[in-house]
């Protein structure tokens, strides 16, 4: 019998179960793969995003432009502009787009020609440069053709219509008043503010830049994003542009006459510390801060060596009102008399005898008057500026107490004014009998003008040391008040009654003492002259016939509203220049500030007229009105619109007096200085002014009168009215 062959036993599963197993296996593998891929995506997203995004966009041209924010405006106390940012433009060319996207040679030539018409760069030069850029880099998208140029809206639109041309807004710092208040303002060097308010308030003025982003592919912009810049804040000063102008005009006159090596003038409100004017010489123009050809002349400036130029610039940039130290001389004597009264060393009934000298310790110290002043009261001693009387006043005053008053007056430390570089002066550590004697005359120690006027103010404002300041407030571009500088009293130095005694005594100095040249008729003025000796640099030897001469004056005596200090360095004695300069500038400043006179303006028998209302009128109409009345006039400011007048409309005024007109402008960037046309023919005048002004007038002969006068600044495009000899 044949046996059946038996099948070998195996562990194989049934067919259905085998299929399900395979599916699970494959599914598991795929899940693992997807999990790994997911992890890689996460890794790339989190850690490699920038690298791969950069690679992805490698075939695109990307650009980011910084949009310059306009720097904040600096204004005077009445809103007149001292520093502005003028809108200008950068013209950027894309050589790639001009060559590749502008399809015809004719259109490319038209681009070059239009650019020449608007920018002044020759078409041939532009074309050659574009081709050079393409040759160096075929995909060149960026070539700045001109920067910070002023264009009209029509010119800007014409440039924007050109292929491959980008017009970018930018700004140029402009000082429409030129040198006026240069040392208060400082200047902007294109990156940072330097000196003055430009430096001290940099964080407020700088603004916040905007951004322009774009993606360009195959010569076309495919995406763009724009962030507007935020303008800098407006800084409003305590400086009054009109007062500053009077000060600078007067100081320039006396500097030209007497040629001091340096000079300064500060005008301040003694009760608040507000600086209304601050002048320093030598000076500069912030518009051309690194070029003194306007001050020294082209021949002098251009022939200087580099180190000479640097030295001249450093002198011009220095603010001598806060950075120049000198012996104050007799302008310090009222402060000494006040401390002696306060300490009970003297009283108003005490008299002093001056024989022309005083023996102090082992020295004989002379009075400035060789024969002496004889017997004097306190007010007479101040009026005569007697050295011997001053030494008598402090003879029994303790040296430490004397020195404490010196510090209480603010000497030996910064005043706190918001201008960089303030000096502290040099004082002795202790005062013995000889030092007390020399200090009482304002000698053997040094101060700055800002220290002296601040300390002096405490003697005339009731005894309080105020903090001087040049900024009143800072306002953001959105109108938010960011900073307000109120009146800051540092300390009380004297009792009000003692201060009032000295203040009243100082009127005698101007009425009949050493300061009579400062007398302005109609006003009660107090003051003090000063003469500080000079030393040979690096020695204790005094310079012969060279002094720092000064005058400190204030008005009205009863309730002072203004105090001024004028200092001229390296001058001979006896000129009286500072006191005379005070009179000249205050003759205009007192009426402008509406400081009350102590007598009637009009003297009986004088011919008078009623002042017309000229505010709001243009300068031509205002001047013609005054000329018709036969009245002299003076114009302060810039522009064609009359903003203020003195005397006010309706006031009775002397026919031989002067009416002052204060002008303003809303477009300081359009101001142009009026040339001198006197002695020219009309044809020559028209040729000279070109497109800046139109000449109105007719006749033969030469021009004998013009409105406005030469040197005045008015918006370009206006007229100059002339009268000829025939």
List CB contacts of 670: < 8 A, sequence separation 6 or more: 715, 716, 717
Percent of the chain with pLDDT over 90: 65
First and final CA of the chain: distance in angstroms?
A: 164
Per-residue pLDDT at 724 exceeds 80? yes
Higher pLDDT, 650 or 269: 269
Question: What is the 8-class DSSP label of residue 655?
Answer: T
Q: Are 134 and 101 in contact (CB under 8 A)?
A: no
**Residues forming beta bridges with residue 567, ordered by sequence position:** 264, 550
Q: Are 547 and 531 in contact (CB under 8 A)?
A: yes
What would the mean pLDDT of 637-650 be, rounded to a whole number? 86
What is the DSSP secondary-structure string of 331-379?
Answer: GGHHHHHHHHHHTTS--TT--EEE-SEEEETTEEEE-SSTT--EEE-HH
* pLDDT tens, residue by residue, 400-449: 999 999 999 999 999 999 998 999 999 999 999 999 999 999 999 999 99
Per-residue pLDDT at 645 exceeds 90? no
* pLDDT tens, residue by residue, 548-587: 999 999 999 999 999 999 999 999 888 999 999 999 999 9
Per-residue pLDDT at 56 exceeds 70? no
Q: Are strands 719-724 and 703-707 parallel, antiparallel or unpaired?
A: antiparallel
What is the DSSP secondary-structure string of 159-180?
Answer: HHTSTTEEEEEEEEEE-TTTTT
**Residues forming beta bridges with residue 510, ordered by sequence position:** none
Could you tell me the two tokens for 245? 């102008």
Report the pLDDT value the prediction gives residue 59, as an integer from 0 to 100. Answer: 42
Q: From the centroid of its chain, how far is CA 605?
A: 46
Per-residue pLDDT at 337 exceeds 80? yes
Task: Map tokens 């002066």 to a residue.
Answer: 425
| Other C-beta atoms lying within 10 Å of the C-beta of residue 102 | 17
| Residue 722: closest CA among 629, 628, 620 | 620
Task: Map tokens 């200092």 to a residue.
Answer: 567
Q: From the centroid of its chain, how far is CA 459?
A: 29
- Return the beta strands (E) in 102-242 as ranges: 143-149, 165-174, 187-188, 193-194, 210-217, 220-227, 234-237
Could you tell me the two tokens for 324? 């120049």
What does the alpha-carbon distance between residue 93 and residue 99 come to, in Å, rounded to a whole number? 11
Residue 431 backbone dihedrals phi, psi, to 5 degrees = -120, 115
Per-residue pLDDT at 624 exceeds 70? yes
Q: Are strands 363-366 and 193-194 parallel, antiparallel or unpaired?
A: unpaired
What would the mean pLDDT of 157-175 be, rounded to a whole number? 89
What does the alpha-carbon distance between residue 200 and residue 195 come to, in Å, rounded to a whole number? 7
* Structural domains for the chain: 64-173+212-227 (no CATH), 322-592 (3.40.710.10), 608-724 (3.30.10.20)
Report the pLDDT value the prediction gives residue 24, as an integer from 0 to 100. Answer: 62
Report the pLDDT value the prediction gives residue 359, as an integer from 0 to 100. Answer: 96
Higher pLDDT, 93 or 634: 93
Residue 4 pLDDT grade (very low, low, confident, very high; cuts 50, 70, 90): very low
List CB contacts of 305: < 8 A, sequence separation 6 or more: none
Q: Are 159 and 118 in contact (CB under 8 A)?
A: yes
Report the pLDDT value the prediction gives residue 608, as an integer from 0 to 100. Answer: 86
Per-residue pLDDT at 671 exceeds 90? no
- Return the beta strands (E) in 55-158 as ranges: 61-67, 74-75, 81-93, 143-149
**Helical packing angle, 49-56 and 15-47, nearest 10°:** 80
Of the candidate ranges 264-268, 330-334, 509-513, the one whose mean pLDDT is the lowest = 509-513
What does the radius of gyration of the chain's CA atoms come to, in whole angstroms?
Answer: 38
**Residues forming beta bridges with residue 447, ordered by sequence position:** 326
Outline where 479-571 has alpha helix (H): 496-505, 507-512
What would the mean pLDDT of 646-668 be, rounded to a whole number? 83
Q: pTM for this one?
A: 0.78
**Helical packing angle, 399-408 and 433-440, nearest 10°:** 40
| Residue 591: closest CA among 625, 559, 561 | 561
Residue 493 backbone dihedrals phi, psi, to 5 degrees = -100, -40
What does the alpha-carbon distance between residue 216 and residue 342 come to, in Å, rounded to a whole number? 79
Q: Is 612 helix (H, G, I), strand (E, B) or coil?
A: coil
What would the mean pLDDT of 639-645 be, rounded to a whole number? 89
What does the alpha-carbon distance between residue 13 and residue 18 come to, in Å, rounded to a whole number? 6
* pLDDT tens, residue by residue, 255-295: 999 999 999 999 999 999 999 999 999 999 999 999 999 99
Higher pLDDT, 101 or 195: 195
5: part of which helix (H) or strand (E)?
Answer: none
Per-residue pLDDT at 599 exceeds 50? no
Percent of the chain with pLDDT over 70: 87
* pLDDT tens, residue by residue, 442-485: 999 999 999 999 999 999 999 999 999 999 999 999 999 999 99
Report the pLDDT value the prediction gives residue 137, as an integer from 0 to 100. Answer: 86
Residue 12 pLDDT grade (very low, low, confident, very high; cuts 50, 70, 90): very low
- Among 29-33, 213-217, 286-290, the range of highest mean pLDDT: 286-290
| Residue 445: closest CA among 494, 437, 715, 227 | 437
Residue 479 backbone dihedrals phi, psi, to 5 degrees = 95, 5
């Amino acid at each position: 019998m044949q046996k059946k062959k038996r099948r070998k036993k195996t562990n194989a599963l049934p067919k259905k179960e085998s299929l399900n197993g395979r599916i699970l296996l494959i599914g598991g593998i795929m899940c693992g793969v997807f999990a790994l891929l997911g992890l890689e995506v996460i890794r790339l997203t989190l850690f490699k995003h920038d690298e791969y995004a950069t690679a992805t966009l490698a075939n695109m041209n990307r650009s980011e432009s910084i949009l310059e924010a306009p720097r904040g405006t600096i204004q005077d106390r009445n809103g007149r502009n001292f520093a502005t940012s003028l809108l200008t433009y950068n013209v950027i060319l894309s050589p790639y787009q001009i060559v590749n996207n502008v399809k015809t040679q004719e259109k490319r030539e038209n681009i070059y020609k239009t650019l020449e018409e608007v920018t002044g760069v020759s078409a041939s030069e532009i074309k050659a440069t574009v081709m050079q850029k393409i040759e160096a880099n075929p995909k060149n998208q960026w070539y700045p053709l001109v920067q910070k140029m002023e264009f009209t809206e029509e010119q800007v639109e014409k440039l924007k219509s050109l292929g491959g041309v980008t017009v970018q807004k930018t700004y140029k710092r402009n000082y429409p008043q030129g040198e006026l208040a240069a040392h208060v303002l400082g200047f902007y060097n294109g990156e940072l503010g330097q000196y003055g308010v430009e430096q001290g308030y940099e964080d407020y003025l700088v603004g916040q830049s905007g951004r322009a982003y774009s993606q360009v592919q195959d010569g076309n912009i495919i995406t763009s994003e724009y962030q507007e810049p935020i303008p800098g804040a407006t800084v409003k000063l305590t400086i009054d542009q009109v007062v500053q102008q009077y000060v600078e005009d007067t100081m320039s006159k006396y500097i030209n006459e007497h040629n001091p090596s340096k000079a300064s003038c500060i005008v301040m409100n003694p009760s608040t510390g507000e600086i209304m004017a601050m002048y320093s010489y030598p000076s500069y123009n912030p518009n051309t801060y690194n070029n003194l050809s306007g001050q020294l002349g082209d021949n002098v400036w251009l022939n200087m060596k580099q180190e000479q130029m640097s030295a001249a610039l450093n002198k011009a940039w220095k603010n001598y009102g806060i950075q120049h130290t000198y012996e104050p001389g007799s302008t310090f004597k009222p402060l000494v008399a006040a401390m002696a009264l306060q300490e009970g060393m003297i009283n108003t009934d005490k008299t002093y005898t001056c024989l022309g000298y005083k023996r102090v310790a082992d020295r004989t110290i002379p009075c400035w008057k060789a024969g002496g002043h004889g017997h004097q009261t306190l007010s007479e001693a101040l009026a005569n500026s007697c050295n011997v009387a001053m030494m008598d006043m402090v003879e029994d005053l303790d040296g430490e107490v004397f020195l404490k008053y010196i510090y209480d007056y603010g000497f030996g430390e910064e005043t706190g004014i918001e201008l960089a570089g303030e000096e502290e002066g040099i004082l002795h550590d202790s005062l013995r009998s000889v030092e007390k004697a020399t200090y009482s005359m304002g000698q053997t120690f040094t101060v700055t003008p800002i220290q002296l006027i601040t300390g002096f103010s405490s003697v005339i404002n009731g005894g309080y040391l105020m903090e001087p300041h040049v900024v009143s407030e800072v306002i953001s571009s959105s109108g938010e008040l960011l900073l307000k500088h109120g009146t800051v009293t540092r300390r009380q130095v004297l009792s009000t009654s003692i201060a009032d005694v000295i203040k009243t005594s100082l009127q005698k100095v101007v009425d009949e003492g050493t300061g009579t040249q400062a007398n302005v008729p109609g006003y009660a003025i107090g003051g003090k002259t000063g003469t500080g000796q000079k030393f040979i640099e690096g020695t204790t030897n005094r310079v012969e016939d060279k002094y720092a001469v000064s005058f400190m004056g204030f008005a009205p005596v009863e309730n002072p509203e203004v105090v001024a200090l004028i200092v001229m360095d390296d001058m001979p004695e006896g000129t009286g220049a500072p006191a005379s300069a005070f009179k000249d500038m205050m003759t205009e400043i007192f009426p402008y500030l509406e400081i009350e006179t102590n007598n009637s303006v009009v003297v009986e028998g004088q011919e008078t007229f009623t002042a017309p209302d000229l505010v709001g009128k243009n300068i031509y109409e205002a001047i013609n009105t005054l000329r018709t009345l036969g009245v002299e006039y003076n114009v302060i400011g810039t522009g064609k619109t009359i903003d203020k007048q003195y005397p006010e409309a309706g006031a009775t005024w002397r026919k031989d007096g002067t009416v002052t007109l204060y002008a303003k402008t809303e477009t300081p960037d359009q101001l142009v200085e009026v040339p001198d046309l006197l002695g020219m023919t009309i044809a020559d005048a028209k040729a000279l002014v070109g497109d800046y002004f139109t000449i109105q007038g007719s006749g033969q002969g030469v021009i004998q009168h013009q409105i406005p006068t030469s040197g005045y600044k008015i918006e370009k495009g206006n007229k100059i009215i002339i009268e000829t000899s025939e």
